[in-house]
Amino acid sequence: SDILDHPLTEAPTIPGWKKIAAGKVREIFIPENAAGIKSADKLLLVATDRISAYDFVLDTPIPGKGAVLTQLSRWWFDQLSGVVATHNLDEDVPTEVAGRAMVTRRLEMYPVECVARGYLTGSGLTEYEDHGSVCGIPLPPGLVEASKLSEPIFTPAIKAELGEHDENVSADRIAQLHGRAVAKNLTDLTLLIYRKAAEIAAERGIILADTKFEFGAEPGMAVRGENVADGAKSFILADEVITPDSSRFWPADKWVEGKVTPSFDKQFVRDWLTSPASGWDRRGETKPPALPAEVVARTSERYLEAYRILTGKSLV
Ligand code: ATP
Ligand code: MG
């Protein structure tokens, strides 16, 4: 299929739209006639096939990855439609980016990475080992890598300076920065959506170990202070949702408390990059080398598999 035969490293020109930003993986377009992002009513979010590992964007694209990120997000937005308002406008996308793009409402974003964790790993585990708590939430002693938490926790982060890692903060800090109503709504929605999604994933043999959401408000409806007039306009689920790039998916049958569970998607990439075969030094300054065809093929298959397992449908 076209999606697999022509991996995309950079979004093409798209008639009617202009590019205003590019992240590590995705590129953002606004309608051509909009003066700037603040005057745009909608966005076109395009997922390329770029992959990042160890904070580098690799030179080698992964066929099918962008399509999986987009189609999986769309599928989750459908699953969550009764749970929270979402930014998905469910419109057809330009043929140039068919299958890999989504038209969304343009929102005023709350600058908070809303992370939910049901299991302890990564930066959450590091913080627990140092402080016995994560983002100000005390946890019982004796937890280890991949321990299941008795209840999922809200562990927000705020964007650090360019080039720095996001900073984990407490929900109280979010309240100081953005008001109590914002902190409470982001907390409650994040945990509500996480629980629902984790249940759906569990039915399919996947552990949703953790995931990150971003929320926005209709222009002019962003909340500050104590009161929320209309939640459905002030707290809207945005960005990508519950994809391998925003979440840790673990195969339930591979999970062992105390052991690092290989991430579903990037396992082969990370294994190869850190093996002698790559000749790359993770602690050095140089960027990683191009990936061999076999690593690309296996990684591509993993993304497609994640989509198949979760949605029950084949992408191509
Ligand atoms: P990274 O590659 O590290 O994720 P990034 O976050 O800058 O970098 P993207 O995730 O590709 O790059 O960019 C998506 C941007 O669009 C984010 O800043 C996100 O907050 C924003 N965004 C997502 N949905 C909406 C929306 N509906 N309205 C306005 N902004 C949105
Ligand atoms: Mg992002």
Helix axes 293-311, 65-79, angle to 10 degrees: 10
Q: Which amino acid is at 230?
A: D
pTM value is 0.96
Measure 250 CA to ligand 1 centroid, in angstroms.
Answer: 25
Q: Which amino acid is at 4?
A: L
Q: Which atom of ligand 1 is nearest to the CA of 23?
A: 12
At 195, give phi and psi (nearest 5°). Answer: -60, -45
- Indicate if the pLDDT at residue 292 is higher than 80: yes
Q: How confident is the model at residue 264 (pLDDT cuts 50, 70, 90)?
A: confident
Q: Residue 23 CA: which ligand is closest?
A: 1
Mean pLDDT of 299-305: 97
Q: Residue 24 CA: which ligand is closest?
A: 1
Higher pLDDT, 263 or 182: 182
pLDDT at 308: 98
Picking from 127, 135, 61, the residue whose alpha carbon sits closest to that of residue 100 is 61
pLDDT tens sequence across 177-209: 999 999 999 999 999 999 999 999 999 999 999
DSSP E strands: which ranges in the chain?
Answer: 17-22, 26-31, 42-47, 52-53, 56-57, 101-105, 108-109, 114-119, 133-134, 137-138, 148-154, 157-158, 167-168, 206-217, 236-238, 247-251
pLDDT at 160: 83
> Candidates 10, 19, 25, 26: which one to mutate for ligand 1, based on the most atoms within 8 Å of Cβ?
26
Instruction: Say how many Å lie between the first and final Cα of the chain, rounded.
Output: 7
Measure 23 CA to ligand 2 centroid, in angstroms.
Answer: 7
ipTM: 0.97
| Shortest-distance Cα residue to atom 6 of ligand 1 | 23
Picking from 115, 148, 113, 153, the residue whose alpha carbon sits closest to that of residue 133 is 153
Mean pLDDT of 80-108: 97
**What is the rounded distance in angstroms from the CA atom of residue 56 to the CA atom of residue 95?**
29
| Shortest-distance Cα residue to atom 24 of ligand 1 | 239
- Indicate if the pLDDT at residue 165 is higher than 90: no
What is the CB < 6 Å shell around ligand 1? 23-26, 28, 43, 87, 104-107, 109, 214, 216, 238-239
